[in-house]
Structure 1
Amino acid sequence: MPPRTHTQATISHRTQDALFSRVHGGNLVYNTCWEDPRLDREMMNLQPDSRVVMITSAGCNALDYLLDGPAQIHAVDMNPRQNALLQLKIAMIQRGHFEDIFQLFGQGSHPQFKELLEELKPALHPFASRYWKAKNYYFRASSLNPSFYYRGTAGQMAWIALHTFLGSSKVRDYMDALLQASGVEEQKRLYQHIKPVLWSGLVTWLIRQPVAMTMLGVPRAQVRLIETQFQGGLTGYIRSKMEHVLTEIPFSENYFWRVYLTGHYSKSCCPNYLREEHQATLQQRVNRITTHSTTVANFLRENPGDYSHYVLLDHQDWLAAHKPQALEEEWKLILENSRPGTSILMRSASPVIDFIPEFALERLKVDTELADRLHPMDRVGTYGRTLLAHVQA
C-alpha cells in the first residue's frame, strides 16, 4: 500500500478532530475520574482557607478533596454532562441512605433509579434533571450492558476493549487471578504468563484506532505527543504503562482499573466518596462545591478571585496543539487570580511539559522533586508526566 499523501493525512487529521469535537460536545465522556486523588492531596496540602479551581471530569476527585476541608471547590468543565454527573453525586450524598449511594455508584446500577431521580429533582440543576431523565437507562443493568461504568464514551470503549481481551480463555483466567492477587510479586508472575496473549495483534490493532482514543477522551494532539516522544509510539506507550500498572502497583487497591474490569467497585476498593465512614463529613461539606459549565479561562474572567489551587488535569496538551493563544490567555488569567504560593497541578501525555508560556514560567517555581517522586505511585499510571508548580510573588 503506498504511503498517504500530505493532503490525505490532513483530511484524516481534520476528520479525527471533528469526530473528537462531536463526541465530546454531545456525550458524557468520563464516568469515573482518571487521576489519583491520593497523590493530588499529598501534593496540594489543602488547608481550611484553600479555594480550589479544578476541572470536573466525573466529580469523584472533587468529593475526595473535600475530606481535607478546603473552603471552596469550583468544579469547571466545558461539558455540562460532566457537571451533571457531579451534581447527581452531590444530591445523593445530601439525601443520605448510604446503601442507595453505593448501589448507584458502587454497583453501577439501581432498579429504582427513576423513582430516586424524581425525589432528587428539587436538588438538581435543571439541565442535570433533564439529562438524567433522558439517560436513566445508564443505571439499568441488563445482559447487554450491566453497569453505568460501561456507559458514556469512555465506558463504552472499556466495554469493547474488555470483550476484545475476553475473547481468550487464558485472558479471562488471568483477570480472575489478577483480581485475587495477594501482591505485586504474584502480579508479576501472572503477567509474564499472559503477556504474549495479552498483546495479540487484535488488541494492538484496536489500540491504534483513532475512534478508540477519541472515545477514551484522548485527542489527536495527545496521540501525536506520544507518537513523537515515546519509543514504540502509541502501542509501546500503552503497553509500558499497562505493564507498570499490572506489575508494580498493588492491584488490590487499584479501584481505577478494577471498575472497568468488573463493572463495579467493592466496599474495600472504591473512591473515598463511596466509603460509608466518609458520608457524614461529605454531607456537611458538599455545599462547598459549585459547578460551572464553561472553560477555565471564562470562569476566571467571570469569577475573579484569590485562588489557592488549580487542578488542570491534562487539557493543556490540547490547548498547546490547537489553541496556543487560548493557552497563553488561560495562564495570564491563572496568574492574575493567584496568590503567592498558589499551587498548580497538571498532567500530560508527554514525559516533557515544554509548552508553558515563558511569562508564566518566570512566575512559577516547579516542584520536580515531589511530583517526580509521586508520579510512579499513580494507580492510574497512564500519564507521561505530573507537574506541580507554585506561584511566586
Structure 2
Amino acid sequence: MASQANRKIATAVVREDADQKQRLLDRAFALAFKGLVYAQIWEDPVVDMEALAIEPGNRIATIASGGCNVFFYLTADPGEIVAVDLNTAHVALNHLKRTAIERLPDHASLRRFFGDADSKANIADYQHYIAPHLDAVSRAYWEGRDLAGRRRIGGFARGVYRRGLLGSFIGLAHLAARLNGVDPRVLLTAKSVAEQRAIFDAKFAPFFDRGFIRWVTAQRSSLFGLGIPPAQYDALAGGEPMADVLRARLEKLACDFPLADNYFAWQAFGRGYGKDDRAPLPPYLQACHYDAVKARAGRVQMLHANMTDMLAASDAASFDRYIFLDAQDWMSDAQLAALWTEVTRTARPGARVLFRTAAEPSLLPGRLPDDLLRRWEYRAEDSAGFTRRDRSAIYGGVHLYVLRGAGI
C-alpha cells in the first residue's frame, strides 16, 4: 500500500522530460511529500464559497489536503463531496475529521480536538468516540508511529499543527527569526491593522534583506516545507528573487487583514489558532456551523486517488463544482489536457472550476488545446477579487472558470 502511494505521488511530481538535476529534486520532494504535509489547508474557504456559489444538491469534486474546506462546503448543503488525495496521510486526516465530527459528543470537544489540538483529553476521546468507528486503514495510520517513534494520534495531545512538513517548516522559520532577534509571535500582540503594519515593517521586512536568508530561499529545495515542488518554484518566483517574493506574500498575510479575522496569520506567527476569545478558527470549527457540518458529514467521500483518474471513472455530466487547489502547477501540458478533458466530460450545465496558482496569471491559456479551453469562460474580474481577498496570502492567483453553454 505504501509503495503504491509513493508511486502515485512520484508520477504526479517527477518530470520525466526534465534534466537529471531537476528529476533528482522532484524525487526528493516526492519523498518529503509522502508523509503528513498539511494539518490545515491553506486556501481561504470563505473565498472558495463565494467563488463556487454551491447550490443545494450539487456534487463536488475536490482535492482533500487538510480537509478544513471540504467540511465547510457542507454548510451550502451539497448532495455529495468526493475528496481525493494522493497523500495517504491526508486521506487518513480527512477520515479522522469526518469520524470526529460525526461521533464526538459536542462542539466543545470538536473544538478542543482540532482547534486546540494539544490536550490529553483528545486521546481519551479518540479511544472512546472515534477509534471504534474509524476505517481500518486510517486507524492503523493514526495508531502507528512516526519517524521519532511517537504514535501519530499523540500529536493531538501535543500540538498537531507543529507536526507535518509545513508545521516543521514554520518551526524552523520561527527558530531562524529568533536567532536573528525577532520573535514571530510579536505580530499577534497588535491591536489594529495599523499596528500589524508597523510591526511588520520594523521586525520582519528587514529579515529578508539578510544575505543568508536570500541565499537559502534561492535554493529550490528550501521551499519543500511549504509543499512547493521544484516545478512550482519558478512560477512562484516569477523572475524575481525568491526572498522578495516571500516578503511580499508574508506582508499581505501580516498586514492586509485584521488578526481577529485571519486564522492563517495565527498559524504562521503563533503556530496554532490561539485560545483567547479573539482568536479566529476555520469555519468548519465555528460553533455557528456545527449543526450543519455534523448532520452532513456523511456526504463526504474520501478516496486515495488521482483527480483525473477519479473523474475518468465517473459518469458523464455528474459533477457541478471542482476544486483543484494548486495541483495544476505541477502538471505537464499533457496532464492538464487529460484533466480538463475529463472535467469537461463530467461537468453539468453551469459547472464551476476553482484553482490557485503560485504565479498571478491563469496557467491554462497556451497550454490547453483551444477547442477545450473555449468550452470554459474565465471570470477574470471575479478572479482578481478573489485573489485580493484570500487571507492565506500564499498564492499569486485564485482562478474561476465557468462552463459555457452547449455548442460553444
TM-score, normalised on structure 2?
Answer: 0.86
SS in structure 1 of the partner of residue 48 of structure 2? helix
- Is 2:403 the counterpart of 1:391? yes
Matched, 1:81 2:92: no
Match of 2:120 among 100, 111, 116: 111
Does 1:100 pair with 2:100?
A: no
Per-residue CA distance 1:137-156 (angstroms, 9 max, x = gap): 445479xx952111111111
1:3 maps to none
Shift of 1:303: 2.5
**Do 1:182 and 1:252's aligned partners in 2 also have CA atoms closer than 8 Å?**
no
Report the CA distance shift for 1:218/1:318 in structure 2 as closer, same or farther (over 3 A).
same
Task: Give the structure 2 partner of residue 276 of structure 1.
Answer: 287
Tell me which moved more, 355-364 or 50-59: 355-364
Shift of 1:102: 2.0
Partner of 1:213: 223
Please give the residue correspondences for 1:1-393 in structure 2 after superposition, counting only pairs within 5 Å. Answer: 10-24=19-33, 26-96=34-104, 97-119=106-128, 120-135=130-145, 137-138=151-152, 140=154, 146-169=158-181, 171-172=182-183, 175-195=184-204, 197-199=206-208, 200-227=210-237, 229-230=238-239, 232-266=240-274, 268-304=279-315, 305-320=317-332, 324-355=333-364, 356-357=367-368, 358-393=370-405
Q: Deviations over 1:284-304 (max 9, x none)?
A: 110111111101111112232
* One-letter amino acid matched to 1:203: I
Deviation at 1:306, TM superposition (A): 1.7
Q: 1:233 to 1:318 in 2, by over 3 A?
A: same
Contact 2:39 2:160 in 1 (8 A): yes
Q: Could you say what secondary structure the match of 1:53 adopts?
A: strand
CA deviations over 1:204-238 (Å, ceiling 9, x no partner): 344334333122210111102233x34x2322211
- Alignment partners' CA distance in 2, 1:157 and 1:345: 27
AA of the residue aligned to 2:345: E
Quote how far apart the aligned CAs of 1:271 are.
0.4
Deviation at 1:117, TM superposition (A): 3.3
Shift of 1:39: 0.7
| Maintained 8 Å contact 1:31/1:148 | yes
Q: For 2:155 and 2:373, how far apart are their aligned partners in 1?
A: 49
> Are the aligned partners of 1:74 and 1:289 in contact in 2 as well (CA < 8 Å)?
yes
The alpha carbon displacement at 1:198 in A equals 2.6
CA distance in 1, matches of 2:122, 2:363: 46
Query: Offset of 1:30 from its aligned partner?
Result: 1.1
The aligned length equals 374
Could you list the runs of 5+ residues in structure 1 that have no partner in the other structure?
1-8
Aligned equivalents of 1:196 and 1:390: distance in 2? 39
Distance 1:32 1:62 in 2: 11
Q: Percent identity?
A: 26
Provide the aligned C-alpha RMSD in A: 2.2
**Cα distance change, pair 77–13 in 1 and its aligned pair in 2 (3 A):** same
- The answer to which of 57-66 and 303-312 deviates more is 303-312
Q: Would you say the 8 A contact 2:167–2:271 is kept in 1?
A: no
Shift of the alpha carbon at 1:195? 4.0
Listed one character per residue, the Cα deviations across residues 336-377 of structure 1 (whole Å, up to 9, x for unaligned) are 000121000011112222335123211001111111122111
1:176 Cα offset (Å): 4.0
Equivalent residues of 1:164, 1:203 under 8 A apart? no
Q: Which runs of 5+ in 2 are unaligned?
A: 1-17
Aligned partners of 1:223, 1:291: CA distance in 2, in Å?
29
Change (3 A) 1:138 1:163: farther
1:264, 1:137 → 2: CA distance?
20
Residues 241-298 of structure 1: CA deviation (Å, up to 9, x unaligned): 1122222222332111212332321364110122223222111110111111101111
